[in-house]
Amino acid sequence: MSASPGPRTPKGTPARKVSVPFTHSSPSALKAGGSSASSAAASKASLLGRNDETTYHRKLRSLLQDHARARSTWIQLVSFDGIKAARSLSLAWEDVDNARATPASGEDGDSPQPHGHTATYTRDKATASALQAAELAREDLQAILMKIQAQSSRLTVLLDQARALLTESIKAKGFEFVSVAPLWGTWSMDQFGRLFFFIPETGALTDSAI
């Protein structure tokens, strides 16, 4: 008596489709399925479709994306470029101290002084070269500090613009629209607005977050 065959996997079984958040809002999805397909997908995912957004949705998205880019630049400047420039300046001043501390021939009392002038010239030349390198390092650090200040000012401007947008939204749409109703999925406009108060630390908010 032959053994019964085990369970078989049907051939040609179609792969399961995985739903990706915000896919329905992409331009390609709108072209492929049309606006009705986008609205249906948005309703199924409990997310707001692009066609249903108000001017306030679009303005806030633009501000959030600008804020994310400014935060990313700020973090890059502070955590990498700024530290590198500060270290270069510190090392440059160490080279200056080392050059100035180098004794000329005969200054230590153990060597004759026939070539003392030449040794002194060599030391002074090394010191001048080290000072020039230190000045260049200082200029590099100063340039980065100016860039950091520019990004900080940009973040402040975006914060003011977000505050103005929330005030405008309350006047036009009411308190519930800003503080209670979910803007896209779960967060209200007020909750998104609080992101602008955060000091850049992790850079978790990216351009594609919304």
Q: pTM higher than 0.75 for the full model?
A: no
Q: Encode the chain (210 residues) as per-residue pLDDT tens digits.
A: 444 454 454 454 444 443 333 333 334 443 444 444 444 444 444 576 777 788 999 999 999 999 999 989 998 999 899 999 999 999 999 989 888 888 765 555 455 454 557 778 788 888 899 999 999 999 999 999 999 999 989 999 999 999 999 999 999 999 999 999 888 888 999 999 988 886 554 444 444 443
pLDDT score recorded for residue 199: 58
Q: Are 165 and 56 in contact (CB under 8 A)?
A: yes
Give how far the C-alpha of residue 165 lies from the chain's centroid of Cα atoms, to the nearest Å. 23
Spans of all domains in the chain: 20-52, 54-93+131-197
Three-class secondary structure of residue 114 per DSSP: coil
C-alpha span between 201 and 210 (Å, rounded) = 20
Q: Are 92 and 130 in contact (CB under 8 A)?
A: yes
Extract the tokens encoding 95: 């080279």
pLDDT score recorded for residue 210: 39
